[in-house]
Amino acid sequence: MKLNLVLATLVLLALAGGAAADSHTAAGAAAADRPTRGMTESRVEEKFGSPVSKVAPVGEPPISRWEYPGFIVYFEYDRVIHSVAKR
């Protein structure tokens, strides 16, 4: 249980750091090339293809992530909650 709490905390910290970094991208042009909040996992895969890797859900609610070459997508259950560009 402690491990889940620690991992969930790390995910939330990553989201917070990613959000700050994302707000400084040039005019947010890359944001249009990433999944948007609320998209389902099936819609993301349909539009962007299979991810390079999938990280299993952690915590409650379950937060998972999919990694693509240019961005990372975070899901709560099967819905996008955030996507960030890789540096």
Question: Which pLDDT score is estimated for 6?
Answer: 45
Tell me what the mean pLDDT of segment 53-82 comes to. Answer: 98
Question: Which pLDDT score is estimated for 55?
Answer: 98
Reduced to 3 states, what is the DSSP secondary structure of residue 16? Answer: helix
pLDDT band at 11 (very low <50, low <70, confident <90, very high): low
Write the DSSP string, 35-60: --TT-BHHHHHHHH-S-SEEEEEETT
pLDDT band at 32 (very low <50, low <70, confident <90, very high): confident
Cβ contacts of 87 within 8 Å, gap of 6 or more? 21
**Does residue 4 or residue 46 have the better pLDDT?**
46
| Every domain of the chain and the residues it spans | 2-85
Reported as half-sphere exposure (CB side, CA atoms, 13 A), residue 10 has a value of: 10
